[in-house]
Amino acid sequence: MTTPPPLPATGAWLPGDPVGERRFFTFATDRRFALDSGRTLSDVVVAYETWGTLDADGRNAVLLCHAWTGDSHAAGPAGRGHLEPGWWNAMVGPGKPIDTNRYFVVCANVLGGCQGSTGPSSPHPDDGLPYGSRFPVVTIRDMVRAQARLADHLGVFQWLAVVGGSMGGMQALEWAVMYPRRVRSLVAVATCMQATAQQIAWGAIGRRAIRLDPRWRGGDYYDAAPGDGPSEGLAIARMVAQVTFRSDNVFTDRFGRELADRGDTGDTLGMWQQFEVERYLGHHGNKLARRFDANSYLAIGKAMDLHDIARGRGSIERAIARIQVPTMAVGIWSDMLYPSYQQRQLHEAVAANDVQSEYVEIDSPHGHDAFLINGDQIAGPIERFIGDVSKTS
């Protein structure tokens, strides 16, 4: 039996680590990049990957937007630089629904992330030390503004489609609202127009758990030794999320009341007879701590709480009125985190303006994660939807 290596102090990708398929674009080296919070950043790096080739007319570009703990590696195998295979491998590639023989596909690590884009683990330009607690609050709109700079850099004036699930869907929505002339269609999966109080509550609990971890050190833990980072707080935060990503039914079917460890005595508070579901959640929490940075988890979670397409635009209706392109909203009936009524609301809000809109429901008991687990159900609709848009002028 091998002992797992100690958890890193931070699960961030750091310069010097294997680059894998990542490429890097740096901007705001002269003029500072203004954030919604009123703060600014300079020397902003966006890590991204591309698949396929941009047409001469630049009209076959598809932007994929990743979710909370995702990164730019949407497609491709695991390997050096990529601990995990692409998060939408089944959907993206040659001959696949989002066909890289046909489309130029781009995916960028979000601002605030930890897989190469500027985030809390990145060096602060002033002193080269990690931002840590100095990293500003960022919003979904800030993430999208950074992606717009990348689009300029790549020569993409207009995306054929912007596609994303969960937090990726928030970005897709903001793209269509912020830059209506730069988006020809959007696909928003298992997401919402504004974070609800319950969604904020889940996020806030996870954040408070990370901050409780004494190894978080107020956010400045980057010089800690391996195993001495805030992995326990991050694991707890992930456990909260993991339950909301799944469903009661599936947990019952998969784990029921199976025991992972009977324990030999009844004398340690609460540890006698650990259930399999506890072991599973603990495993996933620890696994995330190995590949993800706790501060990025905080920063991105906060960005999701702040997500509200109505903010500064008067109302949801006025924001949605800016969307004048074909829209596909995808829901999952068993999703307890982003219940399907939220995607139906999006569809209805767009359709109310006589704009082409459709609602597709994934029939799966797997909850929120069905957008990854049962991607096959939306493969056909997304392939057809983007294909149809590509035929329009």
Residues that bind a copy of itself (CB under 8 A): 35, 37-39, 120, 133-137, 194-198, 200-202, 204-205, 207-209, 211-214, 219, 232-233, 235-236, 239-240, 243, 247-248, 251-252, 254-257, 265-270, 272-273, 275-278, 281-282, 295, 298-299, 301-302, 305-306, 308, 336, 339
Q: CA triplet 226, 230, 231: central angle to 5 degrees?
A: 75
Closest CB to a copy of itself among residues 84, 278: 278
Question: Closest Cα partner for 155 from 61, 72, 30?
Answer: 61
CB of 316 to a copy of itself, least distance (A): 11
Q: Which residues are annotated as a binding site for substrate?
A: 238, 369
Q: Which is nearer to a copy of itself, 5 or 266 (CB)?
A: 266
Annotated binding site: 238, 369
Among residues 166, 247, 340, 357, the one annotated as catalytic is 166
Min dist. Cβ of residue 21 to a copy of itself (A): 29
Residue 66 falls in the annotated catalytic set: no
CB atoms within 10 A of CB 66: 24
List all residues 6 or more positions away from 19 whose beta carbon is below 8 Å from its beta carbon: 81
Neighbours of 365 (CB within 10 A): 16
How far is residue 212's CA from residue 240's CA, in Å, rounded to a whole number? 15
Nearest distance from residue 125's CB to a copy of itself, in Å?
A: 16
Active-site residue identified among 335, 347, 357, 366? 335
Residue-by-residue DSSP string for 265-324: -S-STTTSSEEHHHHHHHHHHHHHHHHS-HHHHHHHHHHHHH-BTTTTSSSHHHHHTT--
CA distance 393 to 391: 7
* Closer residue to a copy of itself (CB): 242 or 356: 242
Known catalytic membership, residue 213? no
- Which helix (H) or strand (E) segment holds residue 189: the answer is strand 186-189
The closest of 243, 242, 279 to 260, measured between CA atoms, is 279
Which is nearer to a copy of itself, 259 or 352 (by Cβ)? 259
Q: What residues form DSSP beta bridges with 92? A: 98
State which residue, 118 or 295, has the beta carbon closest to a copy of itself. 295
Residue from 73, 82, 307, 368 carrying the catalytic annotation? 368
* CB of residue 252 to a copy of itself, shortest distance in Å: 5
Q: Is 73 a catalytic residue?
A: no
Q: Taking the CB of residue 26, how many other CB atoms lie within 10 A of it?
A: 13
Q: Measured between alpha carbons, how far is 229 from 219 in angstroms, rounded to an integer?
A: 10
DSSP notation for 102-119: T-EEEEEPPTT-SSSSSS
Q: Select 13 or 221, whichever has its Cβ closest to a copy of itself.
A: 221
CB of 1 to a copy of itself, least distance (A): 24
How far is 237 from 245, CA to CA, in rounded Å?
12
Give the three-class secondary structure for 193. coil
Task: Please report how close the Cβ of residue 215 comes to a copy of itself at its closest, in angstroms.
Answer: 10
Report the length, in residues, of the chain: 393
Report, as residue numbers or ranges, the catalytic residues. Answer: 166, 335, 368
